[in-house]
């Protein structure tokens, strides 16, 4: 299975502002994880680490709580009969192949 996830929602919930969601320093990663209620308590990622590593850690922390938020998994707007073309033109946050 191959999964693609767009990490922007997780980054916003981690307190990162639009246009500043790429983290490349441990203090910033720590702050984002604390904001999500998931401070780093285990082994730290290697230094230097990439923004992709930070994305993965932040998204994993975010998913731990996001699993309980039903609108993320079944967006009501995509089922709204007033907008029949929306589901055909707009994707979900998650994609699985």
pLDDT at 97: 46
Tens-digit pLDDT profile for residues 17-26:
887 778 888 8
Residue 16 DSSP one-character state: P
Check pLDDT > 70 for residue 90. Answer: no
User: For residues 77 and 83, is the Cβ–Cβ distance under 8 A?
Assistant: yes
Gap between the Cα atoms of 11 and 32, Å rounded: 8
**Residue 95, helix vs strand vs coil:** strand
Largest pairwise CA distance in the chain:
50
pLDDT greater than 80 at residue 41: no
User: Is it the case that residue 28 has pLDDT exceeding 50?
Assistant: yes
Give yes or no for residue 54 having a pLDDT over 60.
yes
Please determine, for residue 93, whether its predicted confidence score (pLDDT) is greater than 60: no
The b/e string for 3-34 (b: 16+ C-beta within 10 A; e otherwise) is eebebeebbebbebeeeebebeeeeebebbbe
Average pLDDT, rounded, for the chain:
78
33 falls in which pLDDT band (50, 70, 90)?
A: very high
């Amino acid at each position: 299975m191959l999964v693609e996830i767009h990490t922007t929602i997780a980054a916003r919930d981690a307190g990162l502002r639009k246009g500043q969601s790429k983290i490349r320093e441990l203090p910033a990663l720590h702050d984002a994880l604390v904001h999500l209620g998931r401070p780093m308590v285990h082994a730290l990622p290697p230094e230097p680490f990439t923004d992709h590593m930070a994305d993965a850690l932040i998204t994993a922390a975010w998913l731990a709580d996001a699993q309980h938020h039903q609108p993320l998994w079944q967006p009501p707007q995509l089922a709204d009969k007033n907008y029949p073309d929306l589901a055909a033109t707009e994707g979900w946050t998650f994609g699985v192949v």
